[in-house]
Amino acid sequence: MIDVPEKVSTVINLVEALEDLDDVQNVYHNLELSEAALAVLAALEA
């Protein structure tokens, strides 16, 4: 579980970068975010 809000954007960027690679067909993760981390993610998307 990611409970450090500052790490949220780093992890999301990593997943998106993996999805964008031409050689990668599928990206799977079991990412769990704390409530504070979800609030940071929502603020970043707004």
- Look up the domain containing 41 and give its range: 5-45
Q: What pTM value is reported for the model? A: 0.69
What is the domain count for the chain?
1
pLDDT in tens, 1-46: 877 777 888 888 899 999 999 999 999 989 888 888 888 888 877 7
Give the 3-state secondary structure of residue 46: coil
| Cα R_g (the chain), whole angstroms | 12
Residue 30: what pLDDT?
Answer: 92
Task: Measure the CA–CA gap between 42 and 44, rounded to whole angstroms.
Answer: 5
